[in-house]
Structure 1
Amino acid sequence: MPAPSSAVWCEQRAPAASAAVLATGTLAVGLDLAGYAALFRVSLGLACAAWLLLAADFTLRLLRAGARWRVQVRMPSVLDGMATAALTTVAATAVVGTGFSSAGSPPLAATLLVPAVLLWPVPLALPPQGGERRGPGTVFARCLATQGLAVLGAALAAAQSAAWLAHAALVLFWLGLVLYAFALARFDVRQMAEGLGDHWLAGGALALSALAGAQLLTADSARLYLWNDDDRGVLRTTTVTLLVLALVWYAVLLAAEFLRPRPRTGIRRWATVFAWAASGAAALAVAAALDVGWLDGLGEALLWAAVAAWLCGAAWTVAAARGGVRAGRVRSRARR
């Protein structure tokens, strides 16, 4: 017996839909770092609109499903899908909040931080339902959510001169790296040759971690005096290492795409768009934090590649949505 449509949506579509919001929000952050103010505001507006649509869609499905949710959440695959979607939504909410902080609206960014923090521990505490089985790129969702909160916390600490936020963000930063190590142990490396998009989260999670480290370095000032020389040295070394590893992942995964082409496009490709956007944003953030001029050029190149990928993803999503509407109309007429 096939699973109900709401269960299928939670298992397969919800994580990818929240990844689309995450990709758009991360792209907005990168465009702000690159100095493209107009494009930054447009992409931030799109990310905010997509976030609202995702929240409304999930709420409507929850209301329509009613008591069936009690049965559906007992399915391991559905529970895993819901947890991944929730964690990706936390990361998406955090990067959208970071965009609002950059746009000069720290109160709105702080407002988004509250639901993200409240939602974060619930799916984080759920044990993976796959047991010892190796999984796809979604195993990195716990790292993504944690590092997303670190990015937003560091941005708000700099904007509001709140040292406690920076120290909380630092704790989340180190926790995110631990979660990445656990996720890497569960990641199925065969996804590099077979994955349909979300395998790029292996590199995207490291890029977001490097962005968090750069934000923590930037948040420091003579007024706050967050880190002493030793702390700053460790944070600096770790951030540079994370960026290098993220770029290595980028090169390896891109080579795998050329060696094993996967022309089929799907909604999971939004995770690929996110990874590209996060790599560009991380390079730009590290360049600014450590005053490494040549990284600016690399960051902009990666960012424009992400813009092109975003446009392709948006075109495919619109086409798929139109196809779904037409199919729905045909079925409706057939029933008559």
Structure 2
Amino acid sequence: MPDVARLSRDRLRALPPEAGAVVMGLGVVALDSRHLGLPAVWWSLLVTAALAWLVLMSAFVQRFVTDRSRLTAEAARPAALTVAASTGVLGLGACAVGAGVLASGLLVVAVACWLVVLPRVLAVGWRPEAAPFVGGWFLLCVASQSVAALAAHLAVLTRAVWLLPLSAAAMLVGLALYWFVLSRFDLRQIRTGQGDHWVAGGALAISVVSIASLTEALRDLHVAEFFAVIGTAAALVLLTATVCWYLVLLVAECVTPRLRYDLRRWATVFPLGMTCAAGSATATVSGVTALSVGAQVLFWPALIVLCLTGWGALRRVWTSPR
């Protein structure tokens, strides 16, 4: 038993911040499956995502108690923002089942992580001598938009109008950070990236979801409904850009296949699933039913890549000596 306990502690200690992408990938594909009416897939993926999130938070608490210097160093890395983003995605799952209290708690955790980590990461990336950005830097946008989307959904669920300004502020910050990261993004990553380069498109996809969620909340709560027209138009424009990113990244994968498992491949699962979610969300607010059909088609590649990546992760865990 002591050996098992020591092994568990060692594995938690070795868990990198990038592991939050596992929760993000599982969570968004779970939400997609719920929208498509696949309850078995929905519940199995949601529960797995929740368990993975608990492991992630356990690693975070362990570092806070035993190794704060490492925690401080990791908090300046873009990957640390997966904690806020994964918490936000899990909170959307809680909203979907009507668990308002749980979703509220997750929103508090997501906002706290976002406010603490984002300035640290941005301070590093803002330096003139910073290297060209890889795909993980788009987590600056993703984390912001996950907070925005969760706040909007929770506002509708709890009829809390005061959450709408938080949603709008986080959404605007996310859009600004997207263009900042894009201006410094190394486009060679499209050909050489190991999976996280897909977040360039996934960040736009979750921006579409947050805009559509806020638009729907404004209509549902009868607050500033005239902004809903702007929101719908913005969602359609950004969805078009998201699909363009999807096609470019897909072609690049076909030209230069990267089939070896890498933890960063979970950052590919998330954009695939989020593009599907973006299509569904835009169809809801715009009434363009063809977008919903497109989202159904995009769900299956996301599920297949999730299964392949999950299989690769399980093999890595079982065959790794540490």
Aligned match of 2:5: none
- Bigger Cα Rg: 1
Q: Specify which of 307, 318, 321 is matched with residue 322 of structure 1.
A: 318
Could you report, residue by residue, the CA deviation over 1:44-81 in whole angstroms, capped at 9, with x for unpaired residues? 111101100111233335545x4xx53x5786xx5543
SS of equivalent residue, structure 2 residue 294: helix
Measured after TM superposition, the shift of residue 14 of structure 1 is 2.3
Q: Would the alpha carbon gap of residues 74 and 288 (structure 1) be closer, same or farther in structure 2, given more than 3 Å must change?
A: closer
1:128 aligns with 2:121: no
Q: Distance in 2 between matches of 1:85 and 1:139?
A: 8
TM-score, normalisation: structure 2: 0.89
Distance change >3 Å, CA 73–CA 106, structure 1 → 2: closer
Q: Is the counterpart of residue 108 in structure 1 residue 102 in structure 2?
A: yes
Q: State the Cα distance separating 1:135 from its structure 2 match.
A: 1.7
Tell me the distance in 2 between the aligned counterparts of 1:257 and 1:313: 15
Aligned pairs for 1:70-109 (under 5 A) are 70=69, 72=70, 78=74, 80-81=76-77, 84-109=78-103
Write the distance in 1 (CA, Å) between the matches of 2:72 and 2:268: 30
User: Aligned partners of 1:284 and 1:272: how far apart in 2?
Assistant: 19
**Distance in 1 (alpha carbons) for counterparts of 2:260 and 2:313:** 13
147, 150, 153: which one aligns with 1:152? 150
The aligned counterpart of 2:56 is 54
Distance 1:262 1:44 in 2: 28
Cα shift at 1:26: 1.2
Q: 1:311 to 1:73 in 2, by over 3 A?
A: closer
Equivalent residues of 1:24, 1:46 under 8 A apart: yes
Determine the structure 1 residue equivalent to 2:225: 228
Structure 1 residue 281: deviation in Å?
0.8
Q: Which amino acid aligns with 1:105?
A: A
Between the aligned partners of 2:255 and 2:245, the Cα distance in structure 1 is 15
Matched, 1:139 2:137: yes
The amino acid across from 1:34 in the alignment is: L
Rounded to whole Å, the distance in 2 between the matches of 1:79 and 1:292 is: 41
**Contact (CA 8 Å) 1:166, 1:226: kept in 2 or not?**
no
The DSSP-based 3-state class of the residue aligned with 1:166 is helix
Q: Report the counterpart of residue 198 of structure 2 in structure 1.
A: 200
CA distance in 2, matches of 1:74, 1:27: 31
Over 3 Å counting, the alpha-carbon distance change for 1:13 and 1:262 in structure 2 is farther
Displacement after TM superposition at 1:286 (Å): 1.0
Q: Which residue of 1 aligns with 2:41?
A: 39
Q: Which amino acid aligns with 1:277?
A: G
Q: Note the aligned Cα RMSD (angstroms).
A: 2.1
The 8 Å contact of residues 134 and 197 in structure 2, kept in 1 or not, is answered as yes
Count of residues in Structure 1 that have an aligned counterpart in Structure 2: 308
Equivalent AA in structure 1 for residue 271 of structure 2: A
State percent identity of aligned pairs: 34
Which residue of 10, 15, 18 corresponds with 1:16? 18
Query: Aligned AA for 1:243?
Result: L
Separation in structure 2 between the aligned mates of residue 237 and residue 191 of structure 1, nearest angstrom: 30
The question of 1:245 aligning with 2:241 is answered: yes
8 Å Cα contact 2:232-2:285 kept in structure 1:
no
Q: Which residue of 2 aligns with 1:313?
A: 309
